[in-house]
Amino acid sequence: MKIIVSHDVDHLYGRDHWFRDLIYPKLCLRSLLLFLRKQITLRECGLRLLSCFSRRRNCIDELMRFDRANGVPSVFFFGMNQGLGMSYYPDEAKAMIKKVHDRGFDTGVHGIEYRDLKLINTEYRRFGRLMGFGPCGIRMHYVRFDENTFAFEEKCGYAFDSTEFDKEKGYTVKAPYKVERMWEFPLTIMDGYLPQSYEAAKHRTLEILEQCRKSGVEYVSVLFHDNQFNNAYTDIRDWYIWLVNTINSSEKDTFISYGDAIRELEENNGR
């Protein structure tokens, strides 16, 4: 199978959330609850509380270094709009998008609008105007979509979307398919929907990969949020490192980018 790794950039800097949303009170409450339920350590709880005062809320540099060293051609999705706790403005993201792009990683839109063609197009065009190059593709924030979302994205000019996700099951075993000229890559595995503990997350991942193998799903999309690549989120960070090592030491599975996957799919389609 071919594994496609993506990172949704929900947070960039501490100031994203000053007087803009309720991320910090929610984060504090959730961290304390998780600690009381013994799901995270005192150290992790402390680090999460302290993070409310840190200037930086992303781990993009660290993750790019890790992905590069391990041959993971990942994509980073950036917001061009604000909503549901993603609160940075496009201007504030510009330097980071440029850095990620210059290092040779793909960059796309982390979409907010999903119901209105005009508004979806505004985010698409905003990216191009800001950066001087277009987004490689899109994933909607909170994987929101309705029956028109993908057709609207296609009209805007996106080459791919990777938003379709089964929230009930917590994973999606479904092959990529075309929506007119655009490819839809259902999101197979999302970090936030895995069990909280490292061992259980590993176990569930192996089960999902096995289901994909049995169902003949050749392209597997995985989402890992960059802001968790640090000591405040040891279980899910270590799960990501384990996943990358597991795929790299497997004989059957490799990493691929969305762009290369599309080229392969188009070639096979034409045959």
In three-state secondary structure terms, 205 is helix
Residue 8 or 161: the one with the smaller Cβ distance to Zn ion is: 8
Residue whose beta carbon is closest to Zn ion: 141
Residue 10 or 44: the one with the smaller Cβ distance to Zn ion is: 10
Which residues on adjacent β-strands are paired with residue 5? 222
Q: How far is the CB of 263 from Zn ion (least distance, A)?
A: 27
Residue of the chain from 6, 10, 154, 257 that contacts Zn ion (CB under 5 A): 10
Q: Are 209 and 220 in contact (CB under 8 A)?
A: yes
What is the C-alpha separation between 18 and 89, in angstroms, rounded? 13
Stretch that binds Zn ion, among 8-16, 65-73, 117-125, 130-138 (CB under 5 A): 8-16
What is the C-alpha separation between 160 and 165, in angstroms, rounded? 15
Residue 112 or 209: the one with the smaller Cβ distance to Zn ion is: 112
Q: Are 86 and 110 in contact (CB under 8 A)?
A: yes
Helix axes 117-131, 149-156, angle to 10 degrees: 40
The CA-based angle 106-111-112, given to 5 degrees, is 160
Residue of the chain from 3, 7, 8, 239 that contacts Zn ion (CB under 5 A): 8
Residue 141 or 202: the one with the smaller Cβ distance to Zn ion is: 141
Residue 10 or 16: the one with the smaller Cβ distance to Zn ion is: 10
Residue 212 or 226: the one with the smaller Cβ distance to Zn ion is: 226
List Cβ<8 Å contacts ≥24 apart for 87-92: 87/16, 87/17, 87/20, 87/21, 87/23, 88/11, 88/12, 88/13, 88/16, 90/126, 90/127, 90/130, 91/130, 92/12, 92/13, 92/16
Number of residues that bind Zn ion (CB under 5 A): 3
Kindly write out the interface string for residues 166-205 of this chain, putting x where it contacts Zn ion by CB under 5 A and - elsewhere: ----------------------------------------
Does 67 participate in binding Zn ion (rule CB under 5 A)?
no
Neighbours of 252 (CB within 10 A): 7
Amino acid at 194: L
Q: How far is the CB of 136 from Zn ion (least distance, A)?
A: 17
Residues numbered 127 to 156 that lie near Zn ion (CB under 5 A) are 141
Stretch that binds Zn ion, among 1-9, 99-107, 204-212, 237-245 (CB under 5 A): 1-9
Q: How far is the CB of 79 from Zn ion (least distance, A)?
A: 8
Contacts to Zn ion by CB under 5 A: 8, 10, 141
